[in-house]
Amino acid sequence: MTANQKIYFYPVWLRIWHGLNAIGILTLIFSGISMQSSIESANLLSFKSVINLHNIAGILVTLSYFLYFTGNLVTPNGKFYIIKPKGFLKRPIQQAIYYAWGMFHGMKAPYPISEKRKFNPLQKYAYVLVMYMAVPVVIITGFALLFPEIIIDQVYAFSGVFVTAVFHSTMGFFISIFLMVHLYIASIGKSPLENFKSIFNGWHEVH
């Protein structure tokens, strides 16, 4: 492998999904926090407008998710999300040690990017948790709250709508934390903006 080999990791469909998803998720976070805060921001948006914005963003994220899911089924990109049983705990622990200590002391990355490895173990686990678990839960619970008549009236001693809302908000908070970590990890590279350029031009430069 040459010192500055470029790998085409982000085809057009994936870049389109990433852009739509980023806009949708950021809008959902903004509008979700606005609704949770119970503060009327009449100078910016009314509470009703915030709800409409949240619903529209939710539909956008849902449509973009179908693009992502279908794309991973019919293109080679899906192979990067397969988790192998061997070293299930050892590999992410090694990567965590590198992030916490190794990269600040000149250590080589234990799982460098290559044509066969798009994500290191921690990235892969996080993406699988978020994209194949948290996002589907947010979508399902979001549509349930949009049409509350389909929600079970009682879950043990609690209101079904209340449980659904709590689950929806919890998963939304989890995705918000993931987004902050995702942006930080993306800034690690030859320069803080190098990885961000990749998602625009499709090419990832390997050093």
pTM of the model: 0.89
Cα gap 131→149, rounded to integer Å: 27
Q: What is the CATH number of the domain that holds 68?
A: 1.20.950.20
Cα gap 5→196, rounded to integer Å: 17
**Residue entry with tokens 């914005």:** 53
Domain that holds residue 89: 5-206
| pLDDT by 10s per residue, the chain, length 207 | 445 789 999 999 999 999 999 999 999 999 998 887 765 555 567 888 899 999 999 999 999 999 999 999 999 999 999 999 999 999 999 999 999 999 999 899 999 999 999 999 999 999 999 999 999 999 999 999 999 999 989 888 889 999 999 999 999 999 999 999 999 999 987 788 888 899 999 998 886
Q: What is the token pair recorded at 204?
A: 């990832």
Cα gap 121→116, rounded to integer Å: 13
Domains in the chain: how many in total? 1
